[in-house]
Structure 1
Amino acid sequence: MFELNFLFFAVAIPAVIFAGISKGGFGSGVAFASSSILALILDPGQALALMLPILMVIDVATLGPYWKRWNWPDSRLLMLGAIPGVALGAWLYKATDADLLRLLIGGISVGFVIWHVGKTQGWVRGFANRLPPPAGLFAGVVAGFTSFVSHAGGPPAAVYLLSQRLSKTEFQASTVLVFWVINAAKFVPYAYLGMFTWHTALADLLLTPFAILGAWLGVRAHWMMSERLFFGIAYVLLTITGSKLIWDALV
C-alpha cells in the first residue's frame, strides 16, 4: 500500500491537473502521461486504479462545455468497437504481472512520441482519404484495449478521428464523449479485478478538486493556448516516463 505523503502529492497533483488539461482542451491523446508519471512511484495496477475515477470526474466536468458538438456517427463507431477492446484488456490484465504492465505503458508512451515525430518529419504520411467505417470499429477495439491496460486509448481514437477531417472543437467533443463511455465501461471490470481499495478511494477524494481544476483549465486552454506548446511538453514527459518504465520492467 502506498503512503499519502509529500512525495505522493508532489507527483500526483501535477499529474492529475495535466490529465484534466489534456482531456478538457486537447483530446485524450496525451492524458495517459499521468498514469505513466504515477507508475514511477506506484505499482502500475495502483496507478491505473487511482487514475480511473479521476478520469471519470474529468469526463463529467468536460461533457457540458462540448455537449452535442461531437460527430455522432464517428463517435458511435469508436464506442461500439471499444467494448470488446475493454473485455480483451480485462483478460490480459488478469493474466499478466506488474513488469509487463510497466513495459506496455512505457512502450505505448514512447511509441506514441516516435509516431508523432515520424509524422512531423514526414517519415509517416497522413491519410489522403477519410478512413472507412470498419477502420473506426477497429480503432475503437484498439482504443478500448489500450485504455484498459494503460489509460492510453487516445492515440488510436485520434488517428481515426483526425482522418475524418473534423474541426478542432468537433474532434475535442467526440473525444470527450467516446472516453466518457470507455471509462465508464472499464469501471466494472476494474472493480471485479480488485484494483480499487479504500486507500485509492481516499486518494481520489483528495485529488478530485485538482482534477476539476485541470478540466476547467483545459476548456479555457482549448480556446487560448498554443497546441504546439502543450503537446511539446507532453511529448517530453511521455519520453522520460516511458523510457523509465521500460527500463524498470526489463531490469
Structure 2
Amino acid sequence: MPPFALLGLSLPDLTLLALAAALLGLSKTAVPGAATITVAVFAAVLPARASTGVLLVLLILGDLFAVWTYRAHADWPVLRRLVPAVLAGVALGTLFLAVAGDTTVRRVIGVILLLLVAVTFVRRARARPAARERPGGAGRFETSSYGALAGFTTMVANAGGPVMSLYLLAAGFSMSRFLGTTAWFFFAVNVAKAPFSVSLGLISLESLQLDLLLAPAIVIGALAGRPLARRIDQRLFDRLVLALTVLSAAYLLMA
C-alpha cells in the first residue's frame, strides 16, 4: 500500500497538498504572501488542527532556504523589539488551540485569511505614503500590535506573513531588508512554535511522515522561486493570489 494511503489520503489529496507545498516553497524565496493559499488548501484537505502541525515543519524547511538566500540582510534591532509581543501572541494562540474544536479552528482560519486579504489591500494603498512618512521605523505601540497579531495568526493558522509585510512596509524597509528580516523572523518564530505544537499533539509521528512525503515539493518550489519570479508578471500573480485566497477562505467558512 502506498505511504499516503496509510495516512488516510487519496492520490488526489496528496497531489493537491504537494502543489500547495511547492507554492509554499516558492513564497519563501520569491513571492511573499502566496503561502496563504497553502494554509487554506491544507486546512481544507486535512483536519484544520492537524494541518497546522503538518504545515509548521514544512514552513521551517522553507525558512531554511529563505534564511540562506537572504541571510545578510536582517535588521536585528527590529527583530529584538518584536520578540516580547510575538511571544505573547504565540502564547494566546496556543491557549486558543487548546480549547477550540476543529470546526472553530477552521472558521477562524477562514476569517483570518479574509482579514489578511483586507490587510494586503490596506498595505498596497498605504505603502508609498508610509514609506515616505515613516522612514525611521514604526513606533512602540505599532510594533507591539503587529507583533502580537503576527504571533497569534502564525500560531493558529501559520498565516502571519501579511501582518509582518504590513509592519515592515510601514517601517519604510528597503526590499533587501524586508526579505532578510522576514526570513529570519519566521525561521525563529516557527522554531519557537514547535514545542507548543508538540505539546498540543499537532506534531506527531503521523504528521512527520506526511511532512517527509511533501518535503521534496518544498525544495522544488524554493529552488524554482527566484528565477521564476523574474519571468512572471508580479501584478497579475498577486491578483491571482488574492482571488484564490478569498475563494479558499469562503470554502473554509462554508464547509
Q: 1: CA distance between counterparts of 2:222 and 2:80?
A: 24
1:241 partner SS: helix
CA contact (8 A) 2:150 2:164 kept: yes
Total equivalences in the alignment:
246
Of 82, 86, 99, 1:95 maps to 99
CA 1:56–1:179: 2 relative to 1, 3 Å: same
TM-score using structure 2 length: 0.88
CA 1:247–1:126: 2 relative to 1, 3 Å: farther
Q: How far apart are 1:142 and its partner, in Å? A: 1.0
Q: 2: CA distance between counterparts of 1:185 and 1:93?
A: 16
CA contact (8 A) 2:62 2:218 kept: yes
Q: Structure 2 unaligned segments of length 5 or more: list them.
A: 1-5
Q: 2: CA distance between counterparts of 1:168 and 1:137?
A: 22
Mapped pair 1:205 → 2:209: no
Q: 2: CA distance between counterparts of 1:174 and 1:123?
A: 20
Q: 2: CA distance between counterparts of 1:206 and 1:219?
A: 24
1:40 partner SS: helix
Structure 1 counterpart of 2:223, one-letter code: W
Mapped pair 1:68 → 2:72: yes
Of 169, 173, 190, 1:166 maps to 173
Q: 2: CA distance between counterparts of 1:183 and 1:126?
A: 31
Of 15, 21, 30, 1:16 maps to 21
Per the alignment, residue 36 of structure 1 pairs with 40
Q: Which moved more, 1:74-83 or 1:88-97?
A: 74-83
2:138 partner SS: coil
Deviations 1:120-142 (A, max 9, x none): 5x599963434213322321111
Deviations 1:83-111 (A, max 9, x none): 11111110111011111111111111122
Q: 1: CA distance between counterparts of 2:154 and 2:94?
A: 10
TM-score using structure 1 length: 0.89
Q: 2: CA distance between counterparts of 1:92 and 1:84?
A: 12
CA contact (8 A) 2:119 2:166 kept: no
Q: Structure 1 unaligned segments of length 5 or more: list them.
A: none
Query: RMSD value over aligned CA atoms?
Result: 2.2
Mapped pair 1:7 → 2:12: yes
Q: 1: CA distance between counterparts of 2:205 and 2:16?
A: 20
Q: 1: CA distance between counterparts of 2:126 and 2:84?
A: 32
5 Å matches for 1:217-228? Answer: 217-228=224-235
CA 1:94–1:176: 2 relative to 1, 3 Å: same
Q: Percent identity over the alignment?
A: 26
Structure 2 counterpart of 1:67, one-letter code: R
Q: 2: CA distance between counterparts of 1:79 and 1:228?
A: 32
CA contact (8 A) 2:127 2:170 kept: no
CA contact (8 A) 2:123 2:166 kept: no
CA contact (8 A) 2:146 2:163 kept: yes
Q: 2: CA distance between counterparts of 1:32 and 1:191?
A: 23
Per the alignment, residue 149 of structure 1 pairs with 156
5 Å matches for 1:78-117? Answer: 78-117=82-121
